[in-house]
Amino acid sequence: MVVSPGLLRYSGTKQMTCAVIFPGQGSQSIGMLNKLPEAFHETKAYWMGLASDVLGYDVAALIESGPEETLNQTAHTQPVLLTANQIMWSVWRSQHPNLEPVALAGHSLGEFSALVAAESLAFEEAVALVANRGRLMQEAVPEGTGTMAAILGLPDDVVEAICREVAEGEVVAPANYNSPGQLVIAGDAAAVERAMLQAKAAGAKRAMILPVSVPSHCALMAQAGKELGKSLENISLSLPKFPVFHNVDASTKKTIESIREALVEQLAMPVQWTKTMKALIYLGVDHFYECGPGRVLTGLGRRIDKEVTWVAYEQEVGE
């Protein structure tokens, strides 16, 4: 694992050591960020205005009024959720001027938010990039032929073995290692269905199809990853101001090229969220702030480690 010396300096201290984490797809909803107090209206308007200029449609209207089916189209979801995350990050920074996070991380799409927050990637470029990422992902697999499912209540190695056993030449594999006992799989629809049946037979508490149109983080996204790599060649990146832990291997990166590679690999490889959170905790992080709509990552975090503090910042600032 590559770790910034700046992060290690904080490890083992008694004072609060915090990291900021950013959610990905699944946290979006009509009216998201409505809990933010009126005092932050200008912050919301500023970032939504920038995103709207890049995308060519009214981001604020889509967030406030939908329609839901449009918001949930991955090419819209990704830039709109990145915008919501950026708003929450801006509010968090304004409310905690003397609190420096020792690391950032984001779940899937949220990794781009982490890079924006770390000043590695410009916001406007990130908005355009993830909108294109969403389109590439949607185009990579014909609608209805791929899917994702959450398997609850089985050890990871059991689910991994089930995927190998039922593949039958198709793609089905772990996609999101979200928390102990919660593993999302992705791949060809028929293979995912077979894996769900086998998981239930093996004692899974639940095995359920997720309401997504794209089988993310599996081999079916390899071509989308290659195309994303071409787009990234034209994007200006800087080394991050804060250490950013990446999904593919729960590590930081030392070079611009390795950051690009991690973003490409992420599309076709599983999100190592549990390992990422455990790595940060091992290095001394004892407070996690989720900067984005909802509390999905806060819920996962409490399943990963109950001894550290997990804060859904939208909920905290809205109280």
Quote the CATH superfamily of domain 5-140+219-318: Malonyl-Coenzyme A Acyl Carrier Protein, domain 2 (3.40.366.10)
CA angle 8–10–11, rounded 5-degree value: 65
Whether the CB-CB separation of 216 and 267 falls below 8 Å is answered with yes
* Catalytic center residues: 108, 217
Which of 206-220 are b and which e, b meaning 16 or more Cβ less than 10 Å from the residue's Cβ? ebeebebbbbbbbbb
Report the predicted TM-score, pTM, of the whole model to 2 decimal places. 0.94
pLDDT under 50 in the chain at which residues?
1-13
Looking at residue 2, its pLDDT comes to 37
Q: How far, in Å, CA of 59 to CA of 48, rounded?
A: 6
Each residue's pLDDT tens digit, 111-140: 999 999 999 999 999 999 999 999 999 999
Burial environment of residue 160 by CB neighbours within 10 A (0 to 12, 13 to 18, 19 or more): middle
The domain spans of the chain are 5-140+219-318, 146-209
Query: For position 114, what pLDDT does the model report?
Result: 98
| CATH of segment(s) 146-209 | 3.30.70.250
Per-residue confidence (pLDDT) for residue 13, from 0 to 100? 40
Work out the end-to-end distance of the chain between its first and last CA atoms, rounded to an integer number of angstroms: 38
